[in-house]
Amino acid sequence: MMQNRTYSARFTVLGIFFAVCGSVSAADAYTLTIREHRFEPAELEVPAGKKIKLVVKNEDSTPEEFESRSLKREKVIPGKSQATVSIGPLDPGTYDFFGEFHEESAKGRIVAK
């Protein structure tokens, strides 16, 4: 009987932990959309000093690569799909990114404040 209470308490604590972590993660997610070989929004403002999740949704039928030399990230996103890129924590500043397959039109920047 005592052992069942111990397991129950552990699962309760784990449930609270995952609920809190899940809500924090959702608040730190930002979305970029690729549409007609362009990033929308072209400028994305994020908080400095925090880790963020960047969800890149590719609405085009062809793949695109999210690439940023200043963020040291690159990720190919197949057409009609999405991918998550973890970034940060960032110092205040501007971080350029581009779509390697359509560099002439797929450009943007992240501004950390």
* Residue-level pLDDT at 27: 45
> pLDDT tens, 51-108?
999 999 999 999 999 999 999 999 999 999 999 999 999 999 999 999 999 999 999 9
Would you say residue 17 has pLDDT above 70?
no
> pLDDT tens, 25-45?
444 899 999 999 999 999 999
Q: Looking at the whole model, is its pTM more than 0.85?
A: no
Domains, the chain: 29-112 (2.60.40.420)
The answer to whether residues 51 and 28 touch, using CB atoms and an 8 Å cutoff, is: yes
Say which DSSP state 35 is in: E
Q: Six-digit token pair at 78? A: 């197949």
The answer to whether residues 75 and 66 touch, using CB atoms and an 8 Å cutoff, is: yes
Q: Six-digit token pair at 31? A: 């979305």
* Residue-level pLDDT at 53: 97
Q: Six-digit token pair at 77? A: 């996103």
Q: Six-digit token pair at 54? A: 């960047």
Question: Residue 57 to residues 11, 76, 108: CA-CA distances in angstroms?
Answer: 35, 11, 14
